[in-house]
């Protein structure tokens, strides 16, 4: 286990300052940068920023807007069309948010349920405009889901399906070489194997087993929670006219690649398919460097086993052939891990791409997740016994490096979880209620920052995973409305109710990332970045040494290619965001 376990637009009276920087890819460890201890105070009556959801507020959900100010303010809400005041009210008193070093006042407009466009006005000055609608998140879900299609490897995106984001195919991966770290008697160094399809993992063009596992689990779980919604959600992809839900077609593109990562000779799973170094700012078709299968590892094998067991269990009535392949793959991968418990991934000296490994990891969370999924799928005594040996593991918000929460969620929801189900439900309930209680004490009513390691690399992914936990826990708490309210405010944060002034998803909002650390977006001739991709988000690590506007974690973000630490994209952040928006859109 790695992490701590559970035991806005800057507009109005001051302009937005966008700070650029230059740099190169460099994987570094999380650094510790201390924030100043005191906030910078603005004049008492000045509104330095308005934090609001830039894509809109769902009519039947909470609507909280925040103003950066030191005193309570009287605010008018005006109908944008007829300029009539619809609400005039006093905000809350100011509350300090330590993650930003700023004071904020709250304007609660939950009572405003009439669909329309509105303005925030103070002393006759319009500070922001927002909308209330009934379909805010359906459109967002479609755009975010389409983002996975734009990240396909081994695939041409024609104008018909990509519009101005059309591009040639790249990385066909039919001739991937076995790296010396992955060599075996059956597959010696230099052996050529196919590993096509899949998604590009992040801003680079490589494909990683560990990061794919949690992403795939999360996407399939989103579909299983809301099958009717996703069956009706039409994406602009080549498979759109078949009988399979489009989101599953997209997921199967990844699954077909994922299965190639297993050595059929012994069941072990390779850590990644990659070039030896990160490529430059090039389009996929220009990436002609050799690609390699890198070492087998227990991290990759256990995550693979858990994911394929989950797919085997839930695809039986959707795609029996893929379900069978997944069942066989899961047991073989787990068997390999049991036989090779010391095969921890070590980055080879000649490989400089993402490692997806945590120093000192004991892999107990991966063992737990794998044992849970195999026990639920195969109901075999050995798997339940393995799980029992790990029963002391606590529940936490899932991340790629901390996956026991996925096992607990599955155990909570599966009828054949035996005595584990109630225990899992109680753990999930306790975690969600703790998040809700602590978020209510936050100056901007979000759960990000509840845990010490929330504001780290990929903080927006953490926020999206918070929402998945809250959504999963609603069935087990006495007050699900409180969790729905927190889900709404957490989504608001991602789409603009944060002190950076950004909606963090490309193409969704009035001020969105334009310079993502994403090679296609940077290398194509299109001004806009590929839409539907969430930036990693603010944190104080600043590993890329770019020019950041602040050392406070909630302000330490810059929209620049340089900032791979805060402005890169990744499938394991987009997948929980897809889950999050779909959980709300399915009820629109």
Asked whether 458 and 536 are in contact (CB, 8 A), the reply is yes
Question: Quick check: 303 pLDDT over 90?
Answer: yes
Q: Note the pLDDT tens digit of each residue in 524-551.
A: 999 999 999 999 999 999 999 999 999 9
Q: What are residue 478's DSSP bridge partners?
A: none
Asked whether 292 and 275 are in contact (CB, 8 A), the reply is yes
Average pLDDT value over all residues in the chain: 93
> What are the chain's domains?
47-133 (2.60.40.10), 137-586 (1.50.10.10)
Side by side, the strands of the sheet bearing 116-122 are 57-58, 125-133, 116-122, 74-79, 85-90
Q: How far apart are CA 285 and CA 157, in angstroms?
A: 12
pLDDT reported for residue 47 = 77
Q: What are residue 117's DSSP bridge partners?
A: 131
Q: Note the pLDDT tens digit of each residue in 209-223.
A: 999 999 999 999 999
β pairing state of 176-178 and 292-296: parallel
pLDDT reported for residue 46 = 65
Q: How far apart are CA 118 and CA 116, in angstroms?
A: 7
As a dihedral over the C-alpha atoms of residue 207, residue 210, residue 216, residue 221, rounded to 10 degrees, the angle is -170
Question: Quick check: 276 pLDDT over 60?
Answer: yes
Q: For residue 513, give Cα distances in angstroms to 38, 205, 504, 526.
A: 29, 20, 6, 14
Q: Note the pLDDT tens digit of each residue in 104-158.
A: 999 999 999 999 999 999 999 999 999 999 999 999 999 999 999 999 999 999 9
Lowest mean pLDDT among 7-11, 182-186, 394-398, 576-580: 7-11
Q: Which residues contact 78 (CB under 8 A, 6 or more apart)?
A: 84, 85, 86, 118, 119, 121, 126
517 counts as catalytic? yes
Q: Which residues contact 275 (CB under 8 A, 6 or more apart)?
A: 205, 206, 287, 289, 290, 291, 292, 353
| φ and ψ of 484, to 5 deg | -60, -40
β pairing state of 57-58 and 125-133: parallel
pLDDT reported for residue 25 = 36
β pairing state of 95-97 and 125-133: unpaired
Task: Provide the 10 A C-beta neighbour count for residue 367.
Answer: 26
Q: How far apart are CA 78 and CA 117, in angstroms?
A: 9
DSSP string for residues in 395-435: P---BTTB-HHHHHHHHHH-GGGTTHHHHHHHHHHHHHHHH
Q: What is the average per-residue pLDDT within 6-34? A: 31
Q: Residue 495 — very low, low, confident or very high, per pLDDT cuts 50/70/90?
A: very high
For 357, the token pair is: 């490994």
Q: Residue 489 — very low, low, confident or very high, per pLDDT cuts 50/70/90?
A: very high
Q: Note the pLDDT tens digit of each residue in 86-104.
A: 999 999 999 999 999 999 9
Q: Which residues contact 400 (CB under 8 A, 6 or more apart)?
A: 210, 211, 213, 214, 356, 572
Q: Residue 415 — very low, low, confident or very high, per pLDDT cuts 50/70/90?
A: confident
Q: Which residues contact 14 (CB under 8 A, 6 or more apart)?
A: 46, 48, 49
Asked whether 464 and 534 are in contact (CB, 8 A), the reply is yes
568 counts as catalytic? yes
- Taking the CA atoms of 529, 530, 535 and 541 in sequence, report the sign of the dihedral they define: negative
Q: Note the pLDDT tens digit of each residue in 353-402.
A: 999 999 999 999 999 999 999 999 999 999 999 999 999 999 999 999 99
Active-site annotation holder among 201, 454, 559, 560: 559
Say whether 133 sits in a helix, a strand or coil. Answer: strand
pLDDT reported for residue 120 = 98
Stated as kind and residue range, the H or E segment containing 468 is: helix 459-473
Q: What is the average per-residue pLDDT within 191-200? A: 99
Q: What is the average per-residue pLDDT within 446-452? A: 96
Q: Nearest to residue 204, comparing CAs of 144, 256, 276, 280?
A: 280
Question: Quick check: 184 pLDDT over 90?
Answer: yes
99 counts as catalytic? no
Compute the half-sphere exposure of residue 378: CA atoms within 13 Å on the CB side of its CA. Answer: 25
Stated as kind and residue range, the H or E segment containing 364 is: helix 364-378
Q: Nearest to residue 419, comparing CAs of 393, 387, 450?
A: 387
Asked whether 302 and 366 are in contact (CB, 8 A), the reply is yes
Q: How far apart are CA 346 and CA 430, in angstroms?
A: 36
Q: How far apart are CA 200 and CA 68, in angstroms?
A: 38
Q: Residue 6 — very low, low, confident or very high, per pLDDT cuts 50/70/90?
A: very low
Q: Residue 513 — very low, low, confident or very high, per pLDDT cuts 50/70/90?
A: very high
Cβ-in-10-Å burial (0-12, 13-18, 19+) of 451 comes to buried
Stated as kind and residue range, the H or E segment containing 66 is: strand 64-68
Active-site annotation holder among 517, 518, 539, 560: 517
Q: What is the average per-residue pLDDT within 257-281? A: 99
Q: Is the pTM of this model over 0.95?
A: no
Rounded to 5 degrees, what angle do the CA atoms 177, 183, 189 make?
A: 50
For 66, the token pair is: 């925040």
Q: What is the average per-residue pLDDT within 42-61? A: 83
């Amino acid at each position: 286990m790695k992490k701590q376990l559970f035991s806005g637009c800057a507009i109005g009276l001051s302009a937005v300052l966008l700070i650029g920087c230059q740099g190169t890819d460099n994987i570094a460890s999380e650094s510790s940068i201390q924030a100043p201890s005191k906030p910078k105070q603005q004049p008492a009556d000045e509104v330095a920023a308005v934090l609001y959801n830039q894509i809109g507020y769902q009519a039947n959900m909470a609507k909280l807007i925040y103003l950066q100010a030191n005193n309570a303010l009287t605010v008018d809400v005006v109908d944008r069309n007829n300029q009539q005041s619809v609400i005039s009210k006093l905000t809350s008193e100011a509350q300090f948010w330590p993650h930003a070093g700023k004071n904020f006042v709250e304007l609660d407009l939950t009572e405003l349920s009439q669909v329309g466009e509105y303005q925030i006005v103070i002393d006759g000055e319009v500070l922001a405009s927002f909308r209330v609608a009934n379909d805010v998140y359906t459109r967002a879900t479609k755009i975010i889901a389409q983002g996975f299609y734009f990240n396909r490897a081994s695939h041409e995106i024609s104008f018909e399906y990509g519009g101005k984001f059309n591009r040639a195919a790249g990385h066909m991966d039919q001739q991937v070489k076995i790296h010396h770290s992955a060599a075996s008697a059956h597959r010696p160094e230099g052996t050529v194997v196919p590993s096509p399809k899949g998604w590009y993992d992040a801003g680079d063009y490589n494909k990683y087993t560990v990061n794919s596992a949690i992403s795939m689990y999360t996407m399939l779980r989103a579909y299983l929670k809301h099958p009717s919604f996703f069956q009706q959600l039409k994406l602009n992809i080549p498979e759109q006219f078949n009988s399979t839900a489009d989101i599953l077609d997209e997921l199967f593109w990844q699954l077909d690649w994922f299965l190639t990562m297993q050595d059929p000779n012994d069941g072990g799973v390779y850590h990644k398919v990659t070039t030896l170094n990160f490529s430059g700012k090039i389009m996929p078709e220009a990436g002609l460097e050799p690609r390699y299968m890198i070492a087998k590892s227990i991290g990759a094998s256990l995550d693979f086993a858990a994911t394929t067991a989950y797919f085997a269990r839930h695809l039986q009535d959707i795609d029996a052939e893929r379900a069978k392949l997944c069942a066989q793959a899961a047991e073989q991968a787990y068997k390999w891990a049991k036989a090779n418990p010391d095969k921890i991934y070590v980055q080879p000296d000649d490989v400089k791409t993402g490692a997806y490994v945590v120093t000192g990891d004991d892999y107990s969370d991966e063992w737990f997740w794998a044992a849970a999924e195999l026990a639920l799928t195969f109901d075999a005594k050995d798997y339940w016994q393995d799980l029992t040996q790990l029963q002391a593991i606590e529940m936490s918000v899932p991340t790629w490096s901390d996956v026991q929460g996925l096992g607990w969620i599955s155990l909570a929801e599966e009828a054949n979880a035996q005595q584990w189900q109630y225990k899992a439900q109680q753990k999930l309930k306790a975690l969600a209620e703790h998040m809700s209680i602590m978020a209510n004490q936050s100056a901007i009513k979000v759960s990000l920052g509840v845990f010490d390691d929330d504001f780290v690399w990929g903080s927006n992914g953490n926020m999206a995973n918070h929402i998945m936990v809250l959504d999963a826990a609603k069935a087990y708490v006495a007050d699900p409305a409180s969790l729905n309210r927190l889900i709404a405010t957490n989504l608001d944060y991602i789409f603009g109710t944060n002190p950076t002034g950004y909606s963090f998803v490309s193409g969704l909002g009035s001020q969105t990332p334009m310079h993502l650390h994403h090679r296609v977006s940077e290398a194509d001739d299109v001004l806009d970045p590929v839409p539907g991709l969430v930036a990693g988000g603010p944190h104080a690590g600043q590993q890329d040494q770019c020019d950041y506007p602040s050392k406070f974690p909630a302000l330490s973000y810059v929209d620049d290619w340089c900032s791979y630490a805060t402005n890169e994209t990744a499938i394991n952040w987009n997948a929980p965001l897809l889950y999050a928006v779909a959980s709300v859109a399915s009820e629109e």
